[in-house]
Amino acid sequence: MSDSPTSDGVSERGSADRPALARLVSLDTTAFASEHWGSRPLLSRASALPGDFADLFSADAVDELVAHRGIRTPFARMAKEGSVLSPSRYTASGGFGAEIGDQLSSERVLAEFADGASLVLQGLHRTWRPLTDFTRELVGDLGHRCQVNAYITPESSRGFDPHYDVHDVFVIQISGTKHWTIHEPAHVDPLASQPWSSRRADVEARAAGEPAIDAVLEPGDVLYLPRGWIHSATALGGTSVHLTIGVSAYTRDDILESIIARARDDVRLRASLPLGIDLTDPDALRPLVDEIVSDLADALATAATSPELADAASASLTRRFAGAVRAEPLAPLATIEALGALGPDTVVSWRRGATASTRRDGEVMTIRRGDSTVSLPVEAADAVEALATGADHTVGSLPGLDEASALVVVRRLVREGILVVR
């Protein structure tokens, strides 16, 4: 989903329709956002969803990836009864002309799988095009980073011990059946720096109690779990294949980081500690801690009055988002050929997933994407804002520009990777 400008000229992510998300939840997406997002699990049965997921993944896709695509670690791993296997047990050299020692060996994967090990295909949003396209749409719907793994589990096997993730997940059962046991969090809303292994005893104790959800997922079912919810799963009849879409949601802590960074403009918070201080003595540190807390409160109070605080937070998160999310892939050779044939009837559109903000600033129209900025004459603003809605346009139909100017603007934005030729 491309960005679209608001009335003040700053881009806004997302779509009220959220078509990718709508495929994953049995509720209206607005109800899901208010009642479940980040707080409560949701089990959506296939019969309540708009369709199946055969277009995204299948057991045949697993065989294709293992046998024919030269997949390497860390895009794959195997585990058995909670323990991750050494890559040497399921990888090998690709042979003459591809002497890479960590490619999946179909023979070794077969042997380990037949012996009860589970296979995990990681980063499928980068290696399997149907999931690449779907993930890009889902990122646009959610406004948060997403990635996709596939878990392939032999009958009656459990791949991993009860644990929680530090990201939200959508579990899509592709084939076979799997029994899921879900427990409430032992640590609510864990951050990336707070993995389940750091609270292993609490997780094990919570997992020994009464589950919040105890259900079998069948093909086409989807389970949403917020981060922190403890889960484990066991394959039942036959081989189970399921997708896990991990959603690394930005949090209030991310906003807090940008606020703290702003507070560090206060020189009092950057001063050196006293010479010869005993860092092992809490009593020696206590007066300093009290003083620093007081200074931080003053600095935060000052920062809170700055009209630029929200701008700084937005810029920081936008840069991180742009660096973490892949936009629609570009075809370099086809693009160069299309630029050579560019004309008034050429159809172009905003590059899907290209996170960018647009702003009129005096005589300049700026497009910011990550750490890069493209500046155009303000006469191009109407055309840029029309394109930023994501709709297709012919070059000659762009508002506010004559044909020659439109060709110049489009050629520049295609070269910058902001527009694509359709």
Predicted pLDDT at 8: 38
Least confident of 8-12, 61-65, 71-75: 8-12
Look-up of token digits 């560019």: 342
Predicted pLDDT at 159: 55
**What's the average model confidence in pLDDT over 239-251?**
96
Q: Is 4-248 a CATH 1.10.1060.10 domain?
A: no
> Model confidence over 331-378: pLDDT tens digits?
999 999 999 999 999 999 999 988 888 999 899 999 988 778 999 999
Average pLDDT for the chain: 92
DSSP-assigned letter for residue 221: -
Distance of alpha carbon 72 from alpha carbon 66, whole angstroms: 10
Structural domain boundaries of the chain?
4-248, 252-312, 332-421
- Whether residue 170 is predicted with pLDDT greater than 80 in this model: the reply is yes
DSSP-assigned letter for residue 98: -
Here the tokens at position 157 are: 């096997």
Domain topology for 332-421: Outer Surface Protein A; domain 3 (3.90.930)
Between CA 30 and CA 37, with CA 36 as vertex, the angle to 5 degrees is 80
* pLDDT above 90 as % of the chain: 78
Mark 286-313 as b/e (b = at least 16 C-beta within 10 Å). eeeeeeeeebbeebeeebeeeeebeeeb
> Model confidence over 271-319: pLDDT tens digits?
999 999 999 999 999 999 999 999 999 999 888 888 888 888 888 888 8
Distance of alpha carbon 70 from alpha carbon 68, whole angstroms: 6
Two domains, one topology: 4-248 and 332-421: no
Q: 3-state SS of 368-401?
A: EECCEEEEEEHHHHHHHHHHHCCCCEEHHHCCCC
Task: Give the bridge partners for 243, in sequence order.
Answer: 150, 172
- Whether residue 160 is predicted with pLDDT greater than 80 in this model: the reply is no
Predicted pLDDT at 157: 73
**What's the average model confidence in pLDDT over 121-130?**
96
Do 395 and 342 meet the contact criterion of CB atoms below 8 Å apart?
A: yes
Q: Give me the helices (H) in 228-380, please.
A: 252-263, 282-304, 309-324, 332-340
> Model confidence over 15-34: pLDDT tens digits?
457 999 999 999 999 999 99
Q: Which strands, in side-by-side order, build the sheet including 372-377?
A: 357-361, 364-369, 372-377
For 176, other C-beta atoms within 10 Å of its C-beta total 21
How many Å is the maximal CA-CA distance in the chain? 75
Look-up of token digits 């086809």: 334
- Whether residue 226 is predicted with pLDDT greater than 90 in this model: the reply is yes
Distance of alpha carbon 190 from alpha carbon 376, whole angstroms: 43
